[in-house]
Amino acid sequence: MQPLQTTSLRVANNRLFILDQQALPQEKHWLPASTVEELVGHIHALRVRGAPLIGLSASLLLALLAEQGAARSRLAQALETLRAARPTAVNLMNNLERMKQALAQENWVAALANEALRLVEEDKRLCDDIAQAGAALVKPGSRLLTHCNTGGLATAGTGTALGVIALAHQQGKVATVWVDETRPLLQGGRLTAWELGELGVPYQLITDSMAASIMAKGQVDAVWVGADRIAANGDVANKIGTYSLAVLAKFHGVPFYVAAPQTTLDPGCPNGEAIPIEQRAGAEVTGVAGSFGCVQWAPEDARVYNPAFDVTPASLISGWVLDSGVVTPPEVAAGVFAKSIL
Q: Are 240 and 183 in contact (CB under 8 A)?
A: yes
Confidence of residue 339 (pLDDT cuts 50, 70, 90): confident
Q: Is residue 324 part of a domain?
A: yes
Cα angle value 156/172/165 (rounded, 5°): 30
Q: Does residue 340 sit within a domain?
A: no
User: 3-class SS at 135?
Assistant: helix
User: Are 94 and 23 contained in the same domain?
Assistant: yes
Tell whether the model's pLDDT for residue 289 goes beyond 80: no
Q: Which of 72, 95, 128 lies at the terminal end of a domain, its last residue?
A: 128
Is residue 49 a part of any domain in this protein?
yes
204-219 pLDDT tens trace: 999 999 999 999 999 9
Global pTM value: 0.94
In a shared domain, residues 190 and 85: no
User: What tens digit of pLDDT does each residue of 235-247 get?
Assistant: 999 999 999 999 9
Residues 325 and 184 in one domain: yes
Rounded to whole angstroms, how far apart are CA atoms 297 and 146?
27
Is there a single domain that holds both residue 188 and residue 269? yes
**Do 118 and 165 share a domain, yes or no?**
no
Q: 108-157, pLDDT tens digit by residue?
A: 999 999 999 999 999 999 999 999 999 999 999 999 999 999 999 999 99
Q: Point out the catalytic residue in the list 20, 180, 228, 323.
A: 228
Which residue blocks in the chain are alpha helix, DSSP H? 36-44, 51-67, 72-83, 90-103, 108-135, 161-170, 187, 193-199, 211-216, 242-252, 283-286, 329-333
**Does residue 208 carry a catalytic annotation?**
no
Q: Provide mean pLDDT across the span 63-76.
A: 97
288 pLDDT exceeds 90? no
Q: What is the mean pLDDT of the chain?
A: 95
In the chain, what percentage of residues exceed pLDDT 70?
98
Q: How far is CA 32 from CA 92, 190, 269, 286, in A?
A: 20, 22, 34, 30
Residue 173, domain member (yes or no):
yes
Same domain? For 226 and 246 the reply is yes
Domain tally for the chain?
2
Q: Domain end: 75, 100, 128, which one?
A: 128
Verify that 78 and 184 share a domain, yes or no. no
Residue 339 counted as domain residue: no
**Does 291 have pLDDT greater than 70?**
no
Q: Are residues 186 and 84 in the same domain?
A: no
Three-class SS of residue 106? Answer: coil
Q: For the chain, what's the residue count?
A: 342
Tell me which residue range forms the domain holding 53. Answer: 4-128
Cα–Cα distance list, 227 to 170, 264, 298, 309, 313 (Å): 23, 7, 30, 10, 12
The answer on pLDDT for 200 being more than 90 is: yes
Give yes or no for residue 337 having a pLDDT over 80.
yes
Same domain, 209 and 83: no
Q: Within this chain, do residues 109 and 150 fall inside the same structural domain, yes or no?
A: no
How does residue 342 score in pLDDT terms, banded at 50, 70 and 90?
Answer: very low
Tell me the CA end-to-end span of the chain in Å, nearest whole number.
26
CATH at residue 262: 3.40.50.10470
Are 194 and 322 members of one domain?
Answer: yes
Q: Is residue 338 part of a domain?
A: no
* 342 domain-assigned: no
In a domain, 288, yes or no: yes
Q: In terms of domains, do 68 and 177 share one?
A: no
Among 82, 100, 128, where does a domain finish? 128
Give the number of other CB atoms < 10 A from CB of residue 296: 12
Q: Does residue 340 have a pLDDT over 70? A: no
